[in-house]
Structure 1
Amino acid sequence: MTRRDFDPAQMSSSDFYQLLTAVVVPRPIAWVSTTSVEGIDNLAPHSFYTVASVNPPIVQFTSVGKKDSLRNIQSQGEFVVNLTPASLFEQVNATGTDFPAAMSEFDAVGLSRESSTVVAPPRVKDSPVALECRLHSTLELGDCTLVFGTVVYAVVSTSVLDGDHPQIGLLEPLSRLGRNEWGTLGSIQELRRIRAKDWPGHFRAAGQGE
Structure 2
Amino acid sequence: MFYRPEDGHGLPHNPFNAIVSPRPIGWISTRGSEGDNLAPYSFFNAVAYVPPQVMFASTGRKDSLGNIEETGVFAVNIVEYAAREVMNATSTAAKRGTDEFALAGVAKAECTTIACPRVEGAPATLECRMTEILTLRGKDNFLIVGEVTGVHIRDDCLNEGRFDVTRFHPVSRLGYRDFAVVREVFTMKRPDDA
Could you tell me which residue of structure 2 aligns to residue 190 of structure 1?
A: 187
> Once the 2 structures are TM-superposed, how far is the Cα of residue 186 of structure 1 from its aligned partner?
3.0
TM-score with structure 2 length normalisation? Answer: 0.93
> Once the 2 structures are TM-superposed, how far is the Cα of residue 17 of structure 1 from its aligned partner?
8.6
Residue 39 (structure 2) pairs with residue 44 (structure 1): yes
> Once the 2 structures are TM-superposed, how far is the Cα of residue 126 of structure 1 from its aligned partner?
2.4
Percent identity, aligned pairs only?
34
> Once the 2 structures are TM-superposed, how far is the Cα of residue 195 of structure 1 from its aligned partner?
2.3
Could you tell me which residue of structure 2 aligns to residue 165 of structure 1?
A: 162
Deviations 1:15-49 (A, max 9, x none): 799321010000001000001123x1100000011
* CA distance in structure 2 between the partners assigned to 1:52 and 1:186 by the alignment: 24
TM-score with structure 1 length normalisation? Answer: 0.86
The code of the aligned residue for 1:118 comes to T
> Once the 2 structures are TM-superposed, how far is the Cα of residue 187 of structure 1 from its aligned partner?
2.1
> Once the 2 structures are TM-superposed, how far is the Cα of residue 171 of structure 1 from its aligned partner?
3.1
Determine if contact 1:8/1:16 at 8 Å carries over to the other structure. Answer: no
* CA distance in structure 1 between the partners assigned to 2:12 and 2:146 by the alignment: 28
* CA distance in structure 1 between the partners assigned to 2:13 and 2:136 by the alignment: 14
The code of the aligned residue for 1:45 comes to P
Determine if contact 2:13/2:176 at 8 Å carries over to the other structure. Answer: no
Q: Secondary structure at the match of 1:117?
A: coil
Which of residues 149, 152, 155 in structure 2 aligns to 1:152?
A: 149
Could you tell me which residue of structure 1 aligns to residue 85 of structure 2?
A: 90
Could you say which structure has the higher strand fraction? Answer: 2
Unaligned runs of 5+ in 1: 199-210
Runs of 4+ in 1 over 2 A off after TM superposition: 15-18
The code of the aligned residue for 1:36 comes to G
Decide which moves more: 52-61 or 175-184: 52-61
Unaligned runs of 5+ in 2: none
Considering only CA atoms, is the larger Rg found in Structure 1 or Structure 2? Answer: 1
* CA distance in structure 2 between the partners assigned to 1:7 and 1:89 by the alignment: 34
Could you tell me which residue of structure 1 aligns to residue 112 of structure 2?
A: 117
Determine if contact 2:76/2:125 at 8 Å carries over to the other structure. Answer: yes
> Once the 2 structures are TM-superposed, how far is the Cα of residue 162 of structure 1 from its aligned partner?
1.6
Q: Secondary structure at the match of 1:175?
A: strand
> Once the 2 structures are TM-superposed, how far is the Cα of residue 174 of structure 1 from its aligned partner?
0.2
Residues paired across the two proteins, number? 191
Q: Secondary structure at the match of 1:108?
A: helix
Deviations 1:116-156 (A, max 9, x none): 11111111012110000011111111231110011000010
* CA distance in structure 1 between the partners assigned to 2:46 and 2:76 by the alignment: 12
